[in-house]
Amino acid sequence: MADSVAVKPREAVTGPARGGGHRSTKRSRREARAAYLFLAPWFAGLLVITIGPILASLYLSFTDYSLLEEAKWVGFDNYVKMFTEDPRYISSLKVTTIYVIVSVPLQLAFALALALVLDRGLRGLAIYRSIFYLPSLLGGSVAIAILWRKVFGADGLVNALLGAFGIQGPGWVGHPDYALGTLIILHVWTFGAPMIIFLAGLRQIPSSYYEAAAVDGAGPLRQFRSITLPLLTPIIFFNLVLEIIKSFQSFTQSFIVSNGTGGPADSTLFYTLYLYLNGFRDYDMGYAAAMAWVLLLIIAGLTGVNFLASKYWVFYGDTK
């Protein structure tokens, strides 16, 4: 399963060889015609709601546009404004970066730790796996964000529990120092999905490796360091790339917990929330488009760096 976990475009495109080498050109023309027919909805979508909008938003990012009036070309003004005259933009970038840098490694660490504990035929594995996976399905919803707002509210669950020990906790979501922390905890809470990917990866490691290592006298820690971890690096890499891309785009949590403001003191102002406020509250759509393009470049850049760095730590053995 580890094979199918990693995205491998080349292999996916090539596929197994077709039976019989000499097909008539008539047949292959018919086949191509059928293929374009099957792909027609996707082609239409690709043009009209993907490629078209990408180019349009690139164009709009160089304009002043409010939906009601014609777009007015302003050159690089939006981009310059972002980085020189808009402190809220800078803080949204900072908040989101902290969120990603802290929550993704923590989330993956929990995912890996739990996957390791659950691996190798523990009784009740299916039940544990389900319990740990459930938050991943719920975590992005408005309902859970509302719950979070109250769990970490001034008179919420956390403070009630702390109160039982005589500790008077602050209103976590209302405090600029702690509000982002509550969103990070929410993200870590959804570690179940990467955990399942780790479990699938762990199952791919032949148990004969561990047996051989045990014969050679390697203890569990040594086995983890020399077998599990290296063989799991492709999966770690895959989870890392995905979670970074995903968490940069988080929106609902920050919107609900701060009630659409990004507060207190912009401490939960996620990038996408600020983009939403600019584009769909203030209808400053040129600026929102420019923000979206910077986001795209950040995500593409980080993914590229990840791929380059992976050469140094991801182990693609010949076992796959």
Partner 1 sequence: MATELRPSRRRSWRLPKHVLLIGFGLVMLYPLLWMVSSSVKPTETIFRDPSIWPTELDLANYIDGWGALSHPFHFYLLNSAVIAILAVAGNLLSCSLAAYAFARLEFRGRNLFFAAMLATLMLPIHVLIVPQYVLFSQLDWINTNLPLVVPKFLAHDAFFIFLMVQFIRGLPRELDEAARIDGCGHIRIYWRIIIPLSVPALATSALFTFIWTWNDFFSQLIFLTDPELWTMPVALRSFMDGQGETAWGELFAMSIVGLMPIFGFFLAGQRYLTQGIATTGFK
Site for partner 1 in 189-228 (CB under 8 A): 189, 193, 196-197, 199-200, 211, 214-215, 217
Residue 146 found at the interface with partner 1 (CB under 8 A): yes
Q: Is 21 in the site for partner 1 (CB under 8 A)?
A: no
Binding residue for partner 1, selected from 74, 151, 183, 184, defined by CB under 8 A: 151
Find the DSSP H helices in the chain: 2-5, 9-14, 25-45, 52-60, 77-84, 87-118, 125-138, 142-151, 157-164, 179-189, 192-203, 207-215, 220-223, 229-248, 252-257, 271-276, 285-313
SS (H, E, C) 211-278: HHHHHCCCCHHHHHHHHHHHHHHHHHHHHHHHHHHHHHCCCHHHHHHCCCCCCCCCCCCCHHHHHHHH
Angle, alpha carbons 130-136-141 (nearest 5°)? 130
Nearer to partner 1, 160 or 309 (CB): 160
63 is an interface residue for partner 1 by CB under 8 A:
no
Sites for partner 1 among residues 273-292 (CB under 8 A): 275-276, 279-280, 285, 288-289, 291-292
Piece of 83-91, 96-104, 176-184, 252-260 that binds partner 1 (CB under 8 A): 252-260
Please name which of 181, 174, 194 lies closest in space to residue 112, comparing C-alpha atoms.
Answer: 194
Q: CB under 8 A: which stretch of 91-99, 127-135, 172-180, 225-233 binds partner 1?
A: 127-135
Site residues (CB under 8 A) for partner 1, limited to 298-317? 299-300, 303
**Integer Cα distance of 248 and 96 in angstroms:** 7
Q: Does 179 bind partner 1 (CB under 8 A)?
A: no
Site for partner 1 in 101-120 (CB under 8 A): 114, 117-118, 120
CA dist., res. 153 & res. 170, Å (int):
8
Using the rule CB under 8 A, which residue among 52, 176, 206, 301 binds partner 1?
A: 52
Q: Cβ closer to partner 1: 20 or 317?
A: 20
Place of tokens 């996957």: 115
List 101, 137, 265, 309, residue binding partner 1 (CB under 8 A): 137
